[in-house]
Amino acid sequence: MIRRDLLATLAILVAALFVASLLAGEVAIPLRDLFGGGQTAGGLILRELRLPRAILAVLVGGTLGLCGAAMQGLLRNPLAEPGVLGVSGCAAVGAVLAFYFGWAAAFPLLLPVGGIIGALLAVALLYALAGGAGLLTLLLAGAALNSLAGALIALLLNLAPSPYAIYEVLFWLMGSLTDRSMAQVGLALPGILLGGALLLGTRRALDALSLGEDAARSLGFSLGAVRLRLVLGSALAVGAAVAVSGAIGFVGLVVPHLMRPLAGRLPGAVLLPSALAGAALLLAADLAVRLIPTATELRLGVLTSLIGAPFFILLVLRMRRQEL
């Protein structure tokens, strides 16, 4: 049972942070300029820079939170997160290839297109390696894809034609929502919405899986079909998100753990709250990178890692104490 009061509170928090994201910046701009028909400087800044950035923060954060909760429910492992199946890494490879061959410089939209293609290829490889097998084989296939993706990115960096190309790729890999446009929102939106719908449609199956695979089968769920929907949904959503934002870590790990005590222990009840909480967390982090006084704007993926890594260590220590 999903708690309506929790969803309402999270929705209000997301709305408040969204408005704050539109207003925050070096230049103070009244919100009415967003809806003005004129081409004022303030209106252009709001519509062309801040609005796409805020929308992508909601989409990417919600995707990472939702996929993290879904992966933890599927694998029944509290340390699972969206990158565990290698989809994020392969999406990054597709984007890095667009940088390497100069496609992104000639046609900027080929950068997210490359990321989405990389994510879809990851799904094809994943099912070529582990289609119809158990969860352990799926995890091993994901680990192999992650290793392959890391090796390919390192190879491309090693063969980069100039230090400037290396700098550009590394900067993108740190993750950011700076200078994004509505065109990138439109490119990422279909994959995120379709992937999110596939994941949300598995709520009852995830609740059944929490009782064990035999119990889920006895309740009439096809485990192969459930895994396919979860993996394909994660690939579409995470691939589209990574393609426009770069690598943003730990959101999918941290958010479900924060929501589980509030939403209930059943995996299906955690999905929607995790999506809203992920959107709120990334909106807040994106606000922070803009407001923290630094010589250059802190990269969003760096900040989420600085927040998430200590949380991850505390989680491992708590699990260790429980095992002793």
DSSP 69-138: HHHHHHHT-TT--GGGGSHHHHHHHHHHHHHHTTHHHH-TTHHHHHHHHHHHHHHHHHHHHHTT--HHHH
Specify whether the CB–CB gap between 241 and 112 falls below 8 A: no
- The average confidence (pLDDT) of the chain is 85
Contact (Cβ atoms closer than 8 angstroms) between residue 262 and residue 3: yes
Indicate whether 322 pLDDT > 90: no
Q: Token digits for 288?
A: 């922070």
Tokens of 261: 């005590």
Q: Looking at residue 18, what is its pLDDT?
A: 96
CATH classification (class only), 4-323: mainly alpha
Q: Is the pLDDT of residue 176 over 80?
A: yes
Higher model confidence: residue 235 or residue 30? 235
Confidence tier at 36 by pLDDT (50, 70, 90): low
Q: Which two tokens stand for residue 297?
A: 């704007």
Q: Is the pLDDT of residue 1 over 60?
A: no
Confidence of residue 91 (pLDDT cuts 50, 70, 90): confident
**Rounded mean pLDDT, 177-186:** 89
The total number of residues shown for the chain amounts to 324
Question: Which whole number is the average pLDDT over 281-286?
Answer: 95
Q: What is the pLDDT of residues 118-164, one digit of tens each?
A: 888 887 887 777 666 666 777 788 888 889 999 999 998 888 877 77
CA separation, residue 295 to residues 104, 178, 289, 290, 298 (Å): 27, 15, 11, 11, 9
% pLDDT > 70, the chain: 94
10 Å Cβ neighbour count for 133?
Answer: 14
Tokens of 158: 């090693």
pLDDT band per the 50, 70, 90 thresholds, residue 283: very high
Q: Round to whole Å and give the CA distance between 316 and 173.
A: 26
Domain residue ranges in the chain: 4-323
Residues 300 and 225: their CA atoms lie apart, in Å, by 35
- Distance from first CA to last CA of the chain, Å, rounded? 33
| pLDDT band of 14, cuts 50, 70, 90 | very high
Please report the pLDDT score of residue 86 as a whole number.
83
pLDDT of residue 42: 74
**Whole-model pTM?**
0.88
String of DSSP letters for 174-209: T---TT--HHHHHHHHHHHHHHHHHHHTTHHHHHHH
* pLDDT tens readout for residues 222-236: 888 888 888 888 888
Q: What percent of the chain has pLDDT over 90?
A: 29
Interaxial angle between packed helices 223-245 and 51-75, expressed in degrees from 0 to 180 and rounded to the nearest 10: 150
Does residue 92 surpass a pLDDT of 70? Answer: yes
- pLDDT tens across 41-82, in order? 777 888 888 999 999 999 999 999 999 999 888 887 777 777
Question: Residue 208 pLDDT more than 60?
Answer: yes
Q: How confident is the model at residue 270 (pLDDT cuts 50, 70, 90)?
A: very high
In this predicted model, what pLDDT tens digit does every residue of 290-308 receive, in sequence order?
A: 888 887 888 998 899 888 8
pLDDT of residue 132: 61
**Residue 2 pLDDT > 70, yes or no?**
no
Contact 229, 286 (CB under 8 A): no
104-111 mean pLDDT: 77
More confident residue, 234 or 286: 286
Name the least confident of 8-17, 196-205, 232-241.
232-241
For residue 270, count CB atoms less than 10 angstroms from its CB and return exposed for 0-12, middle for 13-18, buried for 19 or more: buried
Least confident piece of the model among 11-25, 50-64, 182-196, 218-232: 218-232
Position of tokens 């379709």? 194
